[in-house]
Amino acid sequence: MRSRVKTSKKTSPIEWEEAMDKQQLNEELKAWKARLDRGEITEAAYDKAIEPILEALNEPYAQAAKKAADAPTEMGLLPEQVVGDAHHQFKLEERLGEGGMGQVWKAEDLDCKQDWSNHDCYRALKFPPTVWLSDETAKKNLKREANAAKLLDCPHTVKVYGWHEQQRGNNLPSQVFIEMEYLEGKSFAQHLKDDWKDGLPFQRVMELIEPVAQSLDCAHQKNINHRDIKPANLFLIEAGEVKVLDFGIADEYRKTDASLGTKLKEQKYRSSGTPGYMAPEVSTSKPEPRQDIHALACVIYELLTGEPAFTITPDTPRHPHFYPEPPKSLTQAAWEVLKNGFAFEAEKRPASAGELVMALREAQTAPRPKPESQPQRQQKAEEQKKPRTQTISPPFAWGKALAVLFVVLLLGTGGYGWQQGWFKEKNPEPAQVSSNQAEQISPRHEPAKAAKPQLPPMESIEGWSANKLAARRQQTAQALGIPEAYRETLPGGVELSLRLLPGGQYRMGSPDGEGYSDEHPRHWVSIQPFYMGETEVTVAQYAAFLNDQKPSEAQRQKWVDTRAEDSSSNHLIYKNGRYQAEAGHANYPVNNVSWHGAKAFVDWLSRRSGKRYRLPSEAEWEYAARAGSSGKYSWGDAEPVCQKGAYNGAKFDDNKGCDDTGTEAVRFSAANGFGLYDLHGNLWEWVEDCLHSDYKSAPTDGSVWSGGDCRWRVLRGGSWDFLPDGLRAASHNGLNPGNRLLIIGFRVVRSAPL
């Protein structure tokens, strides 16, 4: 076990872990020395390997550590080393991290080179601690849990692809490691150290935490607890998505304590959680969801303030009555909710992560009481001087008032959670209050306020006309107090137009006897109101993003190709130090954009505008494309024609003389019933979802389907280079997210504020 670091100042968990790095570096030096002593590496390789380690240590400590590097250890992995078995091999590139649960390496998947379309061939490989190598029970447990984690189909959770076992010579035990999704970005811990030192606004914290809450609640429903939620295990990828690391695998490491005896326990206390985040009862109780809720509340506090909620170590536990200072950005009501989140007693904490997030939002956004004016205070004082007379209210009046109050409270606290998918139960039907009851309850001198427009009911929109959809959009906008359409102004005066889509139900996928197997089974989906770009993102809009971001050349190449790289149908050029559209092509859709490039755009747009933009879910995209149609296309089953402005017009390859050399300007087709353009043809469009082989377990609430094979992301809509079959509303394709092709673009969406 690590020795404690003594310090006179307040030390955060991040600083605590940094102080522990010297111990890790010392162990690493020992590992390299052991490999040298066994003759596995040359002295030149040894000197090269330990050079960065020595640089990371201060000189006096480094000298002492080097002299102490004489204890044998089996750990020791080299860059460029090939690991795996005869069926699947990886080449190690760089070590990403090390801790109580071993080492994590970035590695190239050598098998994926066999696939021409897969440009992202990297994985994260997790190697367990040295002591595991000689314990077969421990390795068996790890394999079992890796198999379970592989099946964990939860949103915003790092994908686990399985485990591998490498046999080693010289009578050495085999090496087991876990293959996981590789992410580019930074952990919350690194952001707190570099970018979020003073904390973040409440709205931004909620945007970061809501995906974590969804991941936790999904896993908890499957009886899986994380047990080590902390900033270091929450990751913000470059494209803006939040991912939860170490699900399931971390829990199995801890379960194996018994099989390893004291060997693993003596390594590092982090194997049972991280002080400062783990709940007080962790060491004496079996894992349960409220322990993760405690850790999540601690993370929320740290994101709001830049400081940890609790500064404790394994030997200095938290006092039952101690709470940190309230974050300045929280209302008193929201602070009480957050305090319950990391309450000392588990029973006081919310039952789910979603419940915590929902309660925080409601408490923070509840209207604050206005201060009384001077005349109001004087009148109140006069009233208090008058002699009081006792009045007895009729029992029936109180009963009705309490009943109405109960209905108001129930609808006020449950509606948001239902809309966000936190609760499985459906909302009860709104209670109806008669005019007589309202008159008895309301003060007689105060007229009853006009009822707020209600959201339209959730019902099927199949077969609806454009006029009926427009009326439903207007009704939705009035109920929510939001515009039916608006424009987002980008740098340089470029505008991006969005239109509100009302909520509704539709059948997603193809009917029996039509389409392909991955378009089945056809199923009903309920969609909440959202905004969608009227057109695909244009060259001018994407150029505005690039000029504002000023990416490095390597970053830009990951996002999008320019004309210099592919001149056949690419209208984005770099000229005179700026990105711009080729003359006459500002309103053409930007193509050659990777999924990462699309995500980078929506993330930038969110930061710039203060609104939360994103890519559509696959279910939202098909809902938008159908616009009430149950046929192959938004206009029915008639095949499209390659004719600008036609009712069933679309830019595609019809093999009949239609120009198939590239895209057309946006708004080539006539608008569909929702007022959207070019959802059939012109360009395939990226959506958020991972690829699946069918719809058997697809969400029915319109949410992103994150499980499946996330090495492939879904494309929708067909393109100028495809035949009509690829343009169907139900047709979808899948491609590696790193691909940049002439036939691929995207459009943006934004959830309506419910």
CA distance 334 to 355: 13
Cβ atoms of 472 and 456 within 8 Å: the answer is yes
Q: Name the nearest CA neighbour of 631 among 717, 507, 472, 458.
A: 507
pLDDT confidence band for 563 (50 / 70 / 90): low
Q: Which amino acid is at 364?
A: Q
pLDDT at 430 over 70: no
pLDDT confidence band for 376 (50 / 70 / 90): low
Weakest-pLDDT range from 237-251, 260-274, 446-460, 573-587: 260-274
Two structure tokens written together for 208: 């970061």
Burial 426-463 (b: 16+ CB within 10 A, else e): eeeeeeeeeeeeeeeeeeeeeeeeeeeeebbeeeebee
Q: Name the nearest CA neighbour of 725 among 683, 674, 680.
A: 680
pLDDT at 371 over 90: no
pLDDT at 3 over 50: no
pLDDT in tens, 279-324: 988 878 888 999 999 999 999 999 999 999 987 765 667 888 888 9
Weakest-pLDDT range from 15-29, 269-283, 677-691: 15-29
Q: What angle do CA 353, 287, 124 make, to 5 degrees?
A: 75
Question: Residue 492: what pLDDT?
Answer: 92
pLDDT confidence band for 153 (50 / 70 / 90): confident
- What is the rounded average pLDDT of the residues 3-20? 35
pLDDT confidence band for 370 (50 / 70 / 90): low
Question: Residue 85: what pLDDT?
Answer: 81
pLDDT at 604 over 50: yes
Cβ atoms of 617 and 702 within 8 Å: the answer is yes
Q: Which CATH number fits domain 185-317+327-365: 1.10.260.40, 1.10.510.10, 3.40.50.970, 3.30.420.480?
A: 1.10.510.10
pLDDT confidence band for 530 (50 / 70 / 90): very high
pLDDT at 263 over 50: no
Cβ atoms of 652 and 722 within 8 Å: the answer is yes
Strand ranges in 114-221 using DSSP code E only, listed in sequence order: 122-127, 160-166, 175-181, 185-187
Question: Residue 44: what pLDDT?
Answer: 67
Domain boundaries, the chain: 13-181, 185-317+327-365, 466-537+589-751
CA distance 172 to 344: 46
pLDDT confidence band for 497 (50 / 70 / 90): very high
pLDDT at 256 over 80: no
pLDDT at 237 over 60: yes
Cβ contacts of 523 within 8 Å, gap of 6 or more? 507, 508, 509, 695, 698, 700
Cβ atoms of 226 and 247 within 8 Å: the answer is yes
Question: Residue 437: what pLDDT?
Answer: 36
Strand ranges in 299-409 using DSSP code E only, listed in sequence order: none
Torsion from C-alpha of 689, 694, 697, 699, nearest 10 degrees: 40
pLDDT at 504 over 80: yes
Percent of the chain clearing pLDDT 90 (strictly above): 40
- What is the rounded average pLDDT of the residues 240-250? 74
Cβ contacts of 275 within 8 Å, gap of 6 or more? 13, 16, 269, 312, 313, 314
Burial of 148 by CB count in 10 Å (0-12 exposed, 13-18 middle, 19+ buried)? middle
pLDDT at 545 over 60: yes
pLDDT confidence band for 170 (50 / 70 / 90): low
pLDDT confidence band for 113 (50 / 70 / 90): low
Beta pairing class for 684-691 and 709-716: antiparallel
Two structure tokens written together for 176: 């087991």
Question: Does pTM top 0.75 for this prediction?
Answer: no
581 versus 66: the higher-pLDDT residue is 581
Q: Which fold has domain 466-537+589-751?
A: paralog of FGE (formylglycine-generating enzyme) (3.90.1580)
- Tell me if residue 233 falls in helix, strand or coil: helix
- What is the rounded average pLDDT of the residues 195-205? 91
- Give the HSE-up count for residue 345: Cα atoms under 13 Å, Cβ half-sphere: 3
pLDDT in tens, 54-111: 666 544 444 434 443 433 334 568 888 888 887 788 999 888 877 666 788 899 888 7
Cβ atoms of 189 and 246 within 8 Å: the answer is no
Beta pairing class for 122-127 and 160-166: unpaired
Cβ atoms of 295 and 280 within 8 Å: the answer is no
Q: Which residue has the tokens 């010392």?
A: 26
Weakest-pLDDT range from 32-41, 190-199, 669-678: 32-41
pLDDT at 575 over 80: yes
pLDDT in tens, 644-698: 888 888 888 876 657 667 899 999 999 999 999 999 999 999 999 999 989 998 9
112 versus 357: the higher-pLDDT residue is 357
The dotted CATH code for 13-181 is 3.30.200.20
**Which range scores top for mean pLDDT: 132-136, 415-419, 554-558?**
554-558
pLDDT at 641 over 60: yes
pLDDT confidence band for 4 (50 / 70 / 90): very low
Cβ contacts of 361 within 8 Å, gap of 6 or more? 206, 416
pLDDT at 268 over 90: no
- Give the HSE-up count for residue 250: Cα atoms under 13 Å, Cβ half-sphere: 23
510 versus 259: the higher-pLDDT residue is 510
Question: Residue 150: what pLDDT?
Answer: 77
| The two domains 13-181 and 185-317+327-365 share their CATH topology (first three levels equal) | no
Cβ contacts of 383 within 8 Å, gap of 6 or more? none
pLDDT confidence band for 593 (50 / 70 / 90): very high
- Helix, strand, coil distribution of the chain in percent, nearest 5: 35, 15, 45
pLDDT confidence band for 24 (50 / 70 / 90): low
Question: Residue 302: what pLDDT?
Answer: 95
Burial of 316 by CB count in 10 Å (0-12 exposed, 13-18 middle, 19+ buried)? exposed
pLDDT at 636 over 60: yes
CA distance 514 to 347: 53
What number of other Cβ atoms are within 10 A of residue 296's Cβ? 26
What's the whole-number average pLDDT of the chain? 78
Percent of the chain clearing pLDDT 70 (strictly above): 71
